[in-house]
């Protein structure tokens, strides 16, 4: 892999001290470059303690290694906006993984495993730590876009909509290595903690670039909401996960998300105020989230019928 294709790693430590304007500028330049082209970067010194990441990864492994009947005790209850609890992908979905989805620790929707006993504590602590990093990144991304640092926070600050998924990917076989099909995330910003197995790939200039795991590093990608608000100035990253023979991949994905009642559309700063036409029509975020859920629960037989953000594109 040539250096020009490496996913940049950004040191966030300047944002945890005062006075390091040079360091902040360097970080923002890197983030701006990555977000303008393909929407993916990695961060170090992001505020999530290494010890916590390791403990959370360990409890996830212990949970997923339990027999199915034990895991199924955490099956989702009905009525939640997303299936909070343990889920195995349908055979026909093509995605070879199982996952446990959770909302913020205080949510009544959560169905967290009682085994291993430490699962709840570690996962909740990881969640809360991810929220803080998400808030920091939200402010940085706003500034990189040339907006006030509290712009996205003012746009939507309902942290009850955030969710986190602990994932286990199955082993690759001779003819199947599809862990998670190529997609873009629908939210604002996603954080991924991956183990040492690898398999996450991002599409850049038509090529799939592996995001090589490094201890202590978090992967960051932008979601569709930022792409729409910025009228395509920043990209929602296209990514996928490839499975590995003989090794399960474990990861946590944290979705810094939007209040479902919010209307999303290109901001005037990226349209009327600079003389550009909007590339998307406005939509209610919960409608988009429901369409995306339907993609998963009732996968269309033809790939071109899967709903992406282009569903709201205005033809030029
Ligand atoms: O497991 C990963 O590394 C990525 C997960 C992901 O892309 C997703 O859940 O949307
Ligand atoms: Fe994703």
CA–CA distance from 169 to each of 89, 251, 303 (Å)? 10, 9, 22
Residues 6+ apart with CB under 8 A from 173: 245
Instruction: Show the tokens assigned to 235.
Output: 């990209």
Decide: 239 in ligand 1 pocket, CB within 6 A: yes
> Could you identify the atom of ligand 1 that is nearest to the CA of residue 97?
1
Question: What are the phi and psi torsion angles at 79 (to 5°)?
Answer: 100, -15
The CA 192 to ligand 1 mean position distance, Å, reads: 7
Instruction: Show the tokens assigned to 181.
Output: 């099909």
Residue having the nearest C-alpha atom to atom 6 of ligand 1: 253
The angle formed by the CA atoms of residues 248, 118 and 64, to the nearest 5 degrees, is: 20
Contact (Cβ atoms closer than 8 angstroms) between residue 198 and residue 249: yes
The CA 261 to ligand 2 mean position distance, Å, reads: 22
Question: CB under 8 Å, gap of 24 or more: what pairs does 77-84 form?
Answer: 77/109, 77/111, 79/109, 80/109, 81/109, 81/260, 81/286, 81/289, 82/163, 82/289, 82/293, 84/109, 84/110, 84/111, 84/163
Residue having the nearest C-alpha atom to atom 5 of ligand 1: 253
> Could you identify the atom of ligand 1 that is nearest to the CA of residue 194?
3
Q: In CATH, which of 1.10.10.10, 2.60.120.330, 3.30.420.40, 2.40.160.20 is domain 3-261?
A: 2.60.120.330
Closest CA to 7 of 186, 184, 207, 167: 207
Decide: 185 in ligand 1 pocket, CB within 6 A: yes
The CA 17 to ligand 2 mean position distance, Å, reads: 31
Q: Which ligand is nearest to the CA of 163?
A: 1
> Could you identify the atom of ligand 1 that is nearest to the CA of residue 199?
3
Decide: 89 in ligand 1 pocket, CB within 6 A: no
At 305 the pLDDT is 87
What is d(CA 201, CA 244) in angstroms, rounded to the nearest whole number?
13
What is d(CA 278, CA 315) in angstroms, rounded to the nearest whole number?
10
The sign of the CA dihedral 27, 32, 37, 41 is positive
At 3 the pLDDT is 52
Decide: 56 in ligand 1 pocket, CB within 6 A: no
pTM of the model: 0.96
At 280 the pLDDT is 98
Instruction: Show the tokens assigned to 271.
Output: 């349209």
Decide: 192 in ligand 1 pocket, CB within 6 A: yes
Decide: 194 in ligand 1 pocket, CB within 6 A: yes
Domains of the chain by residue range = 3-261
Closest CA to 200 of 216, 222, 177: 177
End-to-end CA distance of the chain: 36
Contact (Cβ atoms closer than 8 angstroms) between residue 148 and residue 142: yes
For the question of an ipTM over 0.85, the answer is: yes
Q: Which ligand is nearest to the CA of 95?
A: 1
At 224 the pLDDT is 98
- Residue for token digits 């909509």? 161
Query: Per-residue confidence of the chain (316 residues) as pLDDT tens digits?
Result: 445 567 999 999 999 999 999 999 999 999 999 999 989 999 999 999 999 999 999 999 999 999 999 999 999 998 888 899 999 987 777 899 999 999 999 999 999 999 999 999 999 999 999 999 999 999 999 999 999 999 999 999 999 999 999 999 999 999 999 999 999 999 999 999 999 999 999 998 899 999 999 999 999 999 999 999 999 999 999 999 999 999 999 999 999 999 999 999 999 999 999 999 999 999 999 999 999 988 887 888 888 888 999 999 999 7
Report the run of H or E that residue 234 belongs to, with start and end.
none
Contact (Cβ atoms closer than 8 angstroms) between residue 280 and residue 314: yes
Q: Which ligand is nearest to the CA of 241?
A: 1
At 5 the pLDDT is 67
Burial class (CB in 10 A: 0-12, 13-18, 19+), 258: buried
Residue having the nearest C-alpha atom to atom 10 of ligand 1: 185
Closest CA to 271 of 231, 242, 300: 231
Instruction: Show the tokens assigned to 160.
Output: 């009850």
Contact (Cβ atoms closer than 8 angstroms) between residue 228 and residue 309: yes
> Could you identify the atom of ligand 1 that is nearest to the CA of residue 169?
1
């Amino acid at each position: 892999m040539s250096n020009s294709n490496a996913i940049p790693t950004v040191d966030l430590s300047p944002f945890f001290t005062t006075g390091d304007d040079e360091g902040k500028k360097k970080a923002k330049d890197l983030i701006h470059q990555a977000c303008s082209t393909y929407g993916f970067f990695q961060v170090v010194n992001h505020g999530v303690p290494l010890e916590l990441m390791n403990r959370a990864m360990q409890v996830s492994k212990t949970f997923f290694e339990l027999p199915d009947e034990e895991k199924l005790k955490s099956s989702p209850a009905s009525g939640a906006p997303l299936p909070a609890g343990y889920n195995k992908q349908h055979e026909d979905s093509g995605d070879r993984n199982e996952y446990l989805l959770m909302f913020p620790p205080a949510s009544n929707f959560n169905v967290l495993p009682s085994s291993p006993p430490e699962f709840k504590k570690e996962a909740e602590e990881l969640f809360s730590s991810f929220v803080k990093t998400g808030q920091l990144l939200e402010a940085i991304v706003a500034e990189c876009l040339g907006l006030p640092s509290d712009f996205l926070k003012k746009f939507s600050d309902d942290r009850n909509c955030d969710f986190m998924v602990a994932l286990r990917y199955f082993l690759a076989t001779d003819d199947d290595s599809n862990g998670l099909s190529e997609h873009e995330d629908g939210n604002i910003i996603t954080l991924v903690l991956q183990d040492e197995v690898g398999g996450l790939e991002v599409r850049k200039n038509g090529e799939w670039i592996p995001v090589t795991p490094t201890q202590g590093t978090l992967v960051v990608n932008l979601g569709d909401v930022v792409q729409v608000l910025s009228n395509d100035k920043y990209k929602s990253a296209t990514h996928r996960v490839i499975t590995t023979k003989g090794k399960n991949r474990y990861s946590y994905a944290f979705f810094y998300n939007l209040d479902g009642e919010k209307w999303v559309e290109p901001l005037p700063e990226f349209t009327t105020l600079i003389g550009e036409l909007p590339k998307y029509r406005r939509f209610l975020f919960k409608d988009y989230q429901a369409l995306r859920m339907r993609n998963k629960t009732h996968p269309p037989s033809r790939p071109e019928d899967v709903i992406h953000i282009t569903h709201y594109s205005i033809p030029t």
